Amino acid sequence: MVQRQLPNPAELLELMQFKKPELDGRKRRLEGALTIHDLRTIAKRRTPKAAFDYTDGAAEGELSLTRARQAFEDIEFHPGVLRPAENVDMSTEILGGPSALPFGIAPTGFTRLMQTEGEIAGASAAGAAGIPFTLSTLGTTSIEDVKKANPNGRNWFQLYVMRDREISYALARRAAAAGFDTLQFTVDTPVAGARLRDKRNGFSIPPQLTLGTIINAIPRPWWWYDFLTTPKLEFASLSTTGGTVGELLNSAMDPTISFDDLAIIREIWPGKIVVKGVQNVEDSKRLIDAGVDGIILSNHGGRQLDRAPIPFHLLPHVVREVGRDATVMVDTGIMNGADIVASIALGAKFTLIGRAYLYGLMAGGRQGVDRTIAILRSEIERTMKLLGVSTLAELEPKHVTQLQRLVPVAQPAAARAPRRVATKA
C-alpha cells in the first residue's frame, strides 16, 4: 500500500517555483525562439506579406530551395563514443583572417525593407560575435556606414557586374578604401530569376500601396511606424530605386559577364576574392586556375535558376577536385547548426547564412540577429560534442552520410554510345 499524507505547504512551495514574468515583449518572444524555424514563425507574424515573401520565397516552383533544405535534413551523423569533447573550439581561419564561428552572414538585398535596422543590425551583430558580415551591392546601407557599425570586425563586399561597368569598379574601390577585406564576385545573376511570390504581391522598391497591402498591414502597425519614421528606403550604392525586383535586377545586371570581367576585378581588388554562385566541378577548376582565392557553392538561395544543383550535394565532389588548392565555401538552405557541422565535415572551409539571419532580423532587429547567431552557435556546439569532436579540424567525411532522395536516372546504353557516322563504300 502507498502511504499517503496531507500536502505539506513548505514542500509545495519548493516544487512550485514561479518564473518572473518578462515585461520586455521583444526579449520575451526572442527567448521563446529555440530554432531558426521559430524565428521564421515570429518573422512571418510581424512582417507584411510582401516583405516576408521576398525573404522567404525563391524562384518559380521553389524546388531548388526545398531540395537544398531537404538535403541537409537527409543526412546521417556517425558519432564516436568514449571521445570526451567537454570543451569545443568552434573558431576557424578563413581567407586570411579569424572567425569565431564557422559561418558568416551572406549578402542580402533590400535589407532595411524587412526591418528598419537592416544591415546595421547584421554588421554590428556579426562584429560582436566575431564573424564576417557581407554587404550586398543591392544593400540599403552604405559601405561606409557598415564600416562604422562594424569598425573592428571583418566586412566583406558582394559585387554584381553591371551593364555600366564603371559603377561596379567604383563600388569595389570604395569597399577596398573602407577596409573591406574580401570581395564576393557573384556570377549566377546574368538576368533575374522568376520570383513569382514577388510578382503576385506586386513587390517593388519603394513599396507600392494597394488595397491588399493596406489590409495586410493593419495588424502590423509597428512595421509601418518604423518604415515611415526612419530615413527613406533606397539603395545605398545605386541611383536607380524604382520598379519591381525583377526590373531592378535586369536593369543592373549584364548577361554578357565573362571571365574577362573577373580578370579586371581581380586587378582592381587588393584583397581576397571569391566567386559566389559556382554550381559545377568544371567551373570550380577553371576558377581556381584563374587565380581566385576561393569559391562559394551556391544557387543563390534558390532564387535564380529553379532546379539548379544542390550546393550541399555538390560539395564533396568539388572538394575532392580543388579542395587542396582553394577555399571552398557553401550556402543555400542552412537552417540549423547541424547543417553547418555537416558541411565542414564534408570539406567546406566555411558557410554563409542568408534567410536564417533575416528571419532573426524581422523577428527582433539587432536582438533578433543576435538570437540567430546564438541558436546556431549552441546547435554547432551540441552537435560537435555529441559527435565526439573538440575542434572543426577533427570533423571528417566519416562523420556524415548524405542520404539522397534524388538519384540521377541512368542513361540508356544507346544514348551513351557515340553515334556512328555513315560513310560511303
CA distance 53 to 77: 33
- Residues serving a catalytic function are 300
Where do the domains of the chain lie? 40-402
Where do the H-state alpha helices sit in 135-241? 143-149, 165-177, 196-201, 211-217, 221-228
Q: Are the beta carbons of 372 and 357 closer than 8 angstroms?
A: yes
pLDDT of residue 127: 98
pLDDT of residue 412: 61
Residues of the chain with pLDDT under 70: 204-210, 213, 238-252, 410-425
pLDDT of residue 416: 54
Chain position carrying cell 577553371 = 286
pLDDT of residue 425: 39
pLDDT of residue 16: 75
* Most distant CA atoms of the chain, gap in Å: 109
Q: Are the beta carbons of 93 and 115 closer than 8 angstroms?
A: no
Q: CB 391: neighbour CB atoms within 10 A?
A: 14
Task: Tell me the β-bridge partners of 184.
Answer: 158, 274
pLDDT digits (tens, 9 = 90+) for 217-266: 778 888 878 888 888 877 877 665 455 666 666 666 788 889 999 999 99
Query: Which CATH fold would you assign to the domain 40-402?
Result: TIM Barrel (3.20.20)
CA distance 135 to 155: 8
